[in-house]
Amino acid sequence: MHILRALALASGAALVSVTAFAQGTISNLPREETIIIENPEGTVKNPGWFNYWAINAGGRSTGLQQLAMDTFWYIDPDYGIDGVWDNSLASEKPIYNDDFTEMTVKLRPGIYWSDGVEFTADDVIYTIETHMKTDGLYWSAPVQINVESVSAPDPYTVVFKLKKPNSRFHTLFTVRWNAMWMMPKHVFETAGDPHQFDFNPPVSLGPYTLHSYDPNGKWYIWQKRDDWQRTTVARFGEPGPKYAAYIDPGPPDKRVIAQLNHQLDIIHDTAPEGMFTLARESDSSHGWFPGFPYGHPDPTLPALIFNTQHEVFQDRDVRWALALLIDIKAVAMASYRGAATISAIGVPPTGTQPEYYHEPLQDWLKSFEIDTGKRKIKPYDPTVGQQIAEMLRPSMGDAIPSDPEEIARAFGRGWWKPDPEAAAELLERAGFSKRGDAWYTPDGKPFKIRITVEGEARPVMTRAGSMIAQQWRQFGIDASIDVAEGTLVTRRNSGDFETIMSWSVETWGGHPDLSFFLDSWHSEFVADPGKPQPPRNWQRWSSPELDKIIEEIRTIDFDDPRGIELGKEYVKLVAREMPTIPLMSYNVFTVMDETYWTGYPTADNPYTDPVPNWANTKYMFVKLRPHKMAQK
């Protein structure tokens, strides 16, 4: 029994020794000078790799692209620190010749790499020529397809001669999440094969430089450069944090715990339930919106996407019938627990987009009719956003805004009214029939639909898909969920699905030009069934009418007001044709803790996107201030 006593003693001693520990966050750095941010890439497998130009070789949102990379221009997904467009390494907007076969870039002088070498046109020429002669780098393909030659008449001017007219060539160098970053010529020219060079430590063009990193890929720490004034963000002031740590905090529950313990200043994303817990339990945590729906609406549009190469979904009537069977309120509740920003049209209700598209098109939507074959109906209900707000008010109280404009901004405007009767009429016109409680296709087979969802990796979208399947089943369609998990990307790209919960619409957010995603919807890029589809036309939809819109957009300037008119034509066309059923923006529950830092971007101060893996968040750093200083 002595052994037993010894065991009990040892256990007791171990328990007591636990109290000797304290949850330390960071070693040898002052916490009040350090901002700790979630990197959603998680644990980086190859942490010592900083060569961004070698495709997917290492981490990207480890702080590398936010704090150390730079390129010509940035477009903000919200309203921007000084307008939506920012000339970053360029001193002015792109200058095209009349037929868009030449683009001139004027560079900003006085910008230096972190090792003291000035950034000049030589770096641009080197970056472009390296991509021209090396296959398989991140941007090799678009450079090789577009660039005939590149030259530098002086150290601050670069002239691109293009192989064919391209009015959107500058978007290759315009950051929306990322863009083609500039390489330091003086480092890479002696490094040998650019595929094999790890660029460790990285020479930075941003206001921070690498301080340290975990060889196991759990964290990266960046330190403010002494010469931060010689970087492009210095125009907006000094970055607040002296140190920035990008970490892998683990699964959603742990992120919530870490922020409640003030060990994680910015959560990149968490589950709606985690957001609600933080809103309830922490006085210092907040999301993008001060109340419901909290999350930041990303310029991304989750939708029910039809594979229009599938026989059943080639008929517009069928696609519309299925849209009229969806109750978006139930989908919003199931997916985001109500914290969704809905959109009936093919543009995310994000950033400045509602001002360009959603608001101006309200009258058109209200008067929009579809013919069921037996009658004409007006399917649009402009009050759905309001209805969701009212539905949540009894349980969420003050967290729900009451001003109609606030509600529209937070929950979206209208959506399509559920109308099973009209859906039945449309299906009948398409040759479908109902026997008993079940619907049958024109060739007499049971009407079956599989909705492919990602599963646990994306629970919000999975829950939305499950709810839609349930609603279709209630109508008599044999609808089911097909959980793809890790195979989703391969299956989506090869068209191995009937319908899929995903997004094929992504916009700049702040700028009304829709070419970011729309150009890829041209029928020239639609792959044959079974062949890999280039992003983003996952619906594989071909439309001569849409082709005309896209072709005209290609011929006009990026800022031409005609672009907005063409964008509206696209919206009307896809509302009529319904190749995808738009649902809502992808709301990201980015949660910011004000214990150490204040000045985060919010819906009331939308100077940039708070979602911290976006390279655009570099602008956030010049607005962040220590909390105590802010109180003085």
Amino acid identity at 531: K
CB 348 within 8 A of CB 505: yes
Q: Which is nearer to another protein, 516 or 570 (CB)?
A: 516
Query: Who contacts 464 (Cβ-Cβ below 8 Å, separation ≥6)?
Result: 302, 331, 334, 335, 501, 583
Residue 6: burial class (beta carbons within 10 Å; 0-12, 13-18, 19+): exposed
**What Cα–Cα distance (Å) separates residue 218 from each residue in 29, 245, 248, 463?**
17, 10, 5, 30
Query: Alpha-carbon distance 539 to 549, whole Å?
Result: 18
Can you tell me which of 192, 394, 444, 486 binds another protein, judged by CB under 8 A? 486
31 near another protein (CB under 8 A): no
CB 610 within 8 A of CB 359: no
DSSP characters for 304-356? EEE-TTSGGGGSHHHHHHHHTT--HHHHHHHHHTT---B-SSSS-S-TTHIII
End-to-end CA distance of the chain: 64
Can you tell me which of 4, 280, 437, 443 binds another protein, judged by CB under 8 A? 4
483 has which bridge partners? Answer: 453
104 has which bridge partners? Answer: 95, 159
Residues 318-347 that bind another protein (CB under 8 A): none
Residue 524: burial class (beta carbons within 10 Å; 0-12, 13-18, 19+): exposed
218 near another protein (CB under 8 A): yes
Strands 438-440 and 415-416: unpaired
Q: Which is nearer to another protein, 3 or 444 (CB)?
A: 3
In angstroms, what is the minimal distance from the CB of 531 to another protein? 10
CB-side neighbour CA atoms (13 Å) of 161: 6
Stretch that binds another protein, among 325-333, 401-409, 488-496, 554-562 (CB under 8 A): 488-496
250 near another protein (CB under 8 A): yes
Q: Which is nearer to another protein, 46 or 151 (CB)?
A: 46
Please give the distance of CA 4 from its chain centroid, rounded to a whole number: 58
405 near another protein (CB under 8 A): no
- Smallest CA-to-CA distance from 147 within 127, 175, 121, 120 is with 127
Can you tell me which of 535, 551, 555, 559 binds another protein, judged by CB under 8 A? 535
User: Quick one: angle between helices 404-411 and 384-396, nearest 10?
Assistant: 100
In angstroms, what is the minimal distance from the CB of 485 to another protein? 8
Please give the distance of CA 397 from its chain centroid, rounded to a whole number: 30
245 near another protein (CB under 8 A): yes
Write the interaction track for another protein spanning residues 439-468; mark x where CB under 8 A is met and - where it is not: ------------------x-----------
In angstroms, what is the minimal distance from the CB of 72 to another protein? 13
30 near another protein (CB under 8 A): no
Structure tokens at 567: 């964008």
In angstroms, what is the minimal distance from the CB of 19 to another protein? 6
219 near another protein (CB under 8 A): yes
CB 90 within 8 A of CB 72: yes
27 near another protein (CB under 8 A): yes
Can you tell me which of 9, 13, 438, 489 binds another protein, judged by CB under 8 A? 489
Can you tell me which of 35, 54, 233, 571 binds another protein, judged by CB under 8 A? 54
In angstroms, what is the minimal distance from the CB of 510 to another protein? 15
487 near another protein (CB under 8 A): yes
Stretch that binds another protein, among 53-61, 95-103, 415-423, 458-466 (CB under 8 A): 53-61
491 near another protein (CB under 8 A): yes
CB-side neighbour CA atoms (13 Å) of 526: 16
Residues 257-296 that bind another protein (CB under 8 A): 257-258, 260-261
HEC profile of 46-107: CCCCCCCCECCCCCCCCCHHHHHCCCCEEECCCCCECECEEECCECCCCEECCCCCEEEEEE
9 near another protein (CB under 8 A): no
Please give the distance of CA 90 from its chain centroid, rounded to a whole number: 25
CB 320 within 8 A of CB 304: no
In angstroms, what is the minimal distance from the CB of 262 to another protein? 10
554 near another protein (CB under 8 A): no
Q: Which is nearer to another protein, 315 or 609 (CB)?
A: 609
Three-state DSSP class for residue 578: coil
138 near another protein (CB under 8 A): yes
534 near another protein (CB under 8 A): yes
386 near another protein (CB under 8 A): no
In angstroms, what is the minimal distance from the CB of 556 to another protein? 18
In angstroms, what is the minimal distance from the CB of 263 to another protein? 9
Q: Which is nearer to another protein, 274 or 401 (CB)?
A: 274
Can you tell me which of 136, 360, 446, 561 binds another protein, judged by CB under 8 A? 136
Can you tell me which of 149, 200, 216, 229 binds another protein, judged by CB under 8 A? 216
500 near another protein (CB under 8 A): no
40 near another protein (CB under 8 A): no
Residues 156-215 that bind another protein (CB under 8 A): 171-172, 174, 176-179, 195-196, 211-212, 214-215
**Residues touching another protein, count (CB under 8 A):** 82
22 near another protein (CB under 8 A): yes
617 near another protein (CB under 8 A): no
